[in-house]
Amino acid sequence: MAAPPWREGAQGVPGVGTLPQPGIDTFAALGPPSNLAAMMWQMQMASPQVAMPWGHMPMVSAILNVRVEGLKFDYQLTKDDVLKVFSRYGEVFSVQVDREGTSATVQFEQPQHALSAQHDLDRKHLAGMSNAFLRVDFASQPYDATFVQMAATAAQNFSTAPMLPMGYPPIPQVDLAAAPPVPAVGHPKKYTCKLEVGIENEGEFRVGSRVIQIARQIWQDPKFQESGGKTRLRGKGVGGPHEADEPLALCISCRDQACFEKAVQIAEAQLQKVHSDYKTWCQQKGRAVPELAVKVSRKGANYSGRDLACTSDPPRGERPSNAPTDEEIERLIEERNEARKAAIFKKSDEIREFLRQRGVVLMDEKGAKGNFRGNEVTKWRFWRP
């Protein structure tokens, strides 16, 4: 996986700022003016008749909205990157990344952990990216139905409690009927598509530059721009914020279906031409001519939440000498899938890293939810670092 722009520094902490270490009071870094924990503690001492649990003292949301600003293009967040940064502040209940990958929602189990993360990370500049910075703010409403139910139960248990000191009201009731509905999977605001190029980005053939020309050709269509169309190249060798430890791919998104379909047709035709040119180039260089196919994965209002591949899976590439057997890879993918279902993200990350070190790259289907098997939501291929 590509390191996020807040990648870890020399002391093993993200470059955006000094983060609290596990076991250390996260409020210690806030300083006297903003130390809400100390203020609430003083209030409790002044009015000993009110004894509230520590977890309910900070009257803030446990949910944060995260995005990157200051760039002329959209930075694509990943769930693993966001979880890695924010879990340093406390137990994270869940992370949701929108379908475009431009914003995320982080839900902590304790509000004070969200407060500490927001205080430290909001408006922090990203290492190695001039003018780019994180924006972290509190969400007005929980987005997770389970969390809403938990909040409703807590409200019923504490609704009869006396008023808090300094005029704080009791914890309010939560009206589940009035809560915003959880967005349905499979109905994004835009039509999106990812076309895997199938060729590694290297210095001589320069496939990355060729795909960028395709993206530019699509984006120059005025109707595509008017419909909010975007193109981006993502994958290994791209560099910048779209660098990722995964095969090179052209991503297309657009609100208008006709413009979207036209853009995908252009991309497929041009990528097939790139494949033809690459085969000719391999012959001229005396290299083995590979079997190539463009894998197209779509999402949109008329598609299900899981990717729909328009062709069969492309060849997985040349097997590295230290790569596990196919059976072992499939077994580890299933083991990782079970860990993800159980929210054991540390184990999930360890399996992904183990396979990456042995030349196997995993590609998770974005937005897939439900009781799927590992091979239904995770694809893999060989990759030479």
- Asked if residue 333 lies in contact with residue 374, where contact means CB atoms within 8 angstroms, the answer is yes
Q: What is the pLDDT of residue 30?
A: 34
Task: Kindly provide the residue ranges of all beta strands, DSSP E only, lying in the chain, ordered along the sequence.
Answer: 63-69, 92-97, 103-108, 133-138, 191-196, 230-234, 249-254, 295-299, 308-309, 360-364, 378-382
- Asked if residue 282 lies in contact with residue 290, where contact means CB atoms within 8 angstroms, the answer is yes
How far CA 125 is from CA of 7, 14, 122, in Å, comes to 12, 11, 9
Dump pLDDT digits (tens) for 251-291: 999 989 889 989 998 998 899 899 989 999 999 989 888 88
Confidence grade of residue 385 (pLDDT, cut at 50, 70, 90)? low
d(CA 78, CA 248): 16
Q: Which residue has the higher pLDDT, 136 or 382?
A: 136
Domains of the chain: 63-138 (3.30.70.330), 191-299 (3.30.1370.10), 326-382 (no CATH)
Q: What is the pLDDT of residue 309?
A: 34
Dump pLDDT digits (tens) for 179-235: 444 444 444 467 888 898 888 877 788 888 888 889 889 988 999 988 888 888 877
Predicted TM-score (pTM) of this structure: 0.35
Contacts of 237 (CB under 8 A, 6+ apart): 200, 201, 202, 208, 243, 248
d(CA 375, CA 224): 35
Cα angle, residue 332 at apex, residues 328 and 336 outer, rounded to 5°: 175
Contacts of 71 (CB under 8 A, 6+ apart): 129, 131, 132, 241
- Asked if residue 120 lies in contact with residue 19, where contact means CB atoms within 8 angstroms, the answer is yes
- Span 328-352, average pLDDT: 89
Cα angle, residue 384 at apex, residues 382 and 385 outer, rounded to 5°: 130
Contacts of 285 (CB under 8 A, 6+ apart): 204
Residue 105 has pLDDT above 60, yes or no: yes
d(CA 112, CA 37): 8
Name the token pair of 365.
């289907």
- Span 34-47, average pLDDT: 35
